[in-house]
Amino acid sequence: MDYKWLALCRPGFENELSAEAKELGATTEYTQGSGYVLFELSSKGFTPKPWRLLELKDFIFARQLFMVAARLDLNNEADPIAAIVSKVRQVVKNHHTIKALEAIVAETPDTENMRSVLSEAQLVAQQIADRLGRFGVRFIPGRGAPRLHLFFENDAQAIIGLSSPQLSSPWPMGAARIKLPSEAPSRSARKLEEALSLFISPDEIYTRLKPGMKAVDLGAAPGGWSWTLANRGLVVTAVDNGKLTPEALKTGLVTHLEVDGFTYRPEKRVDWMVCDIVAGGPRVAKLVANWIRRGMCGETIFNLKLGSPAGRLAEVRRAQTLLLKTAKEASVHISLV
Ligand code: SAM
Q: Say which DSSP state 181 is in.
A: P
- Is 184 a pocket residue for ligand 1 (Cβ < 6 Å)? no
Nearest CA to ligand 1 atom 27: 219
The pLDDT assigned to 182 comes to: 85
Q: Which of 49, 87, 286, 305 is catalytic?
A: 305
Of 228, 240, 305, the one to substitute when testing ligand 1's pocket (max ligand atoms within 8 A of C-beta) is: 240
Q: 265 and 287 in contact (C-beta within 8 Å)? A: no
Reported as a single tens digit per residue, the pLDDT across 222-258 is 999 999 999 999 999 999 999 999 999 999 999 999 9
Residue 307 pLDDT grade (very low, low, confident, very high; cuts 50, 70, 90): confident
User: How far does residue 186's CA lie from ligand 1's centre (Å)?
Assistant: 12
Active site residue 49: no
The pLDDT assigned to 152 comes to: 97
The pLDDT assigned to 20 comes to: 97
Of 192, 239, 277, 284, the one to substitute when testing ligand 1's pocket (max ligand atoms within 8 A of C-beta) is: 277
Reported as a single tens digit per residue, the pLDDT across 142-186 is 778 999 999 999 989 999 999 999 999 989 999 888 888 888 898
User: How far does residue 171's CA lie from ligand 1's centre (Å)?
Assistant: 28
Could you give phi then psi for residue 2, rounded to 5 degrees?
-100, 135
Q: 182 and 224 in contact (C-beta within 8 Å)? A: no
Q: How high is the mean pLDDT of the chain? A: 94
Residues 86-106, mean pLDDT to the nearest whole number = 94
Residue 126 pLDDT grade (very low, low, confident, very high; cuts 50, 70, 90): very high
User: How far does residue 261's CA lie from ligand 1's centre (Å)?
Assistant: 8
The pLDDT assigned to 231 comes to: 95
Q: For strand 235-239 and strand 297-302, is the pairing parallel, antiparallel, or unpaired? A: unpaired
Is pLDDT of 315 > 80?
yes
The pLDDT assigned to 333 comes to: 80
Query: Would you tell me how many other CB atoms lie within 10 Å of the CB of residue 221?
Result: 23
Of 262, 276, 284, 286, the one to substitute when testing ligand 1's pocket (max ligand atoms within 8 A of C-beta) is: 276
202: number of CA atoms within 13 Å, CB side? 3
Is pLDDT of 45 > 80?
no
**Cβ-based neighbours of 182, under 8 Å, separated by 6 or more:** none
Could you give phi then psi for residue 319, rounded to 5 degrees?
-65, -45
The pLDDT assigned to 11 comes to: 96
User: How far does residue 240's CA lie from ligand 1's centre (Å)?
Assistant: 6
Q: 20 and 175 in contact (C-beta within 8 Å)? A: no
Handedness of CA 200, 225, 238, 254 (dihedral sign): negative
